[in-house]
Amino acid sequence: MIRLLLVDDQSLVRRGLKALLETDAEFAVVGEGSNGQEAVELVEQLQPDLVLMDVQMPIVDGVAGTREICQRFPKTRVLVLTTFPNQEYVTQALQVGAAGYLLKNTPFEELTQAIHLALKGYTQIGPGLSGAVFQQSMTPNSADRTTDYHVDWQQLTPREQDIVNWIVQGASNREIAQALYISEKTVKNNVTNILNRLNLRDRTQLAIAALQAASLKNRHL
């Protein structure tokens, strides 16, 4: 059983999300909060496995709440779930320790998958949001915060390189499968092979590494 805490300042959103999540017997919503301060207090009391956290909330926002939870309760993962596809919010949330950033229009199946992967330590970025993170990671001001990934891209097949290009653009497995006329399972297997071969943890590291390589290549042109 995965214990979840829902944090959103709109009670209607919390009720709807709770009803949806509890259609899956694997999830139990153990508490609800309306701001970041309540989130911290509830994590201390309830010790959930994962928090679904909104961003814009009164008193204490989701980014500040996420920061404190990640610092004080490292065993609890925080997955941002919001309506705001804002570059600044995405990068701030990940920098303070969020396990991912998804939009509220994420299909239920993808949300449940993201919860499982976040609990396994993988960073989850909603389709279309990755570009904001990676652009930020390449700016001079963020250079000291970003790991340099040294990978041998020649290890990858042309098909795998195509998949990496789509991941950089923030495409989901389904979107990549449709674009390349292959199955989602094939995409998933290819992504796993790419990560293992390049010794990278997740799609976020993969995309950052690819953009770092592209930036380095451009500087040498």
| Per-residue confidence (pLDDT) for residue 154, from 0 to 100 | 85
Tell me, yes or no, whether 117 and 140 share the same domain: no
* Mean pLDDT over each residue of the chain, to the nearest integer: 84
Residue 184 to residue 166: CA distance in whole angstroms: 13
Residue 110, domain extent: 2-126
Tens of pLDDT, residue by residue over 122-160, are 777 776 665 555 444 444 433 333 456 678 888 889 899
- Choose one of 83, 102, 126: the last residue of a domain: 126
Residue 47 to residue 176: CA distance in whole angstroms: 37
Tell me, yes or no, whether 21 and 105 share the same domain: yes
Residue 111 sits at the vertex; the CA angle it makes with 109 and 115, to the nearest 5 degrees, is: 120
In CATH, what number is assigned to the domain containing residue 52? Answer: 3.40.50.2300
| Per-residue confidence (pLDDT) for residue 24, from 0 to 100 | 93
| Per-residue confidence (pLDDT) for residue 35, from 0 to 100 | 97
Tell me, yes or no, whether 110 and 180 share the same domain: no
Whether the CA torsion 43, 145, 93, 113 is positive or negative: it is negative
Tell me, yes or no, whether 110 and 157 share the same domain: no
Q: pLDDT truncated to tens, each residue of the chain (221 aa)?
A: 999 999 999 999 999 999 999 999 999 999 999 999 999 999 999 999 999 999 999 999 999 999 999 999 999 999 999 998 887 788 788 888 898 899 999 889 889 988 998 898 877 777 666 555 544 444 443 333 345 667 888 888 989 988 988 887 677 888 889 888 899 999 999 999 999 999 988 887 887 777 666 545 434 44
| Per-residue confidence (pLDDT) for residue 136, from 0 to 100 | 47
Number of compact structural domains in the chain: 2
pTM of the model: 0.66
| Per-residue confidence (pLDDT) for residue 144, from 0 to 100 | 36
Q: Are 32 and 13 in contact (CB under 8 A)?
A: no
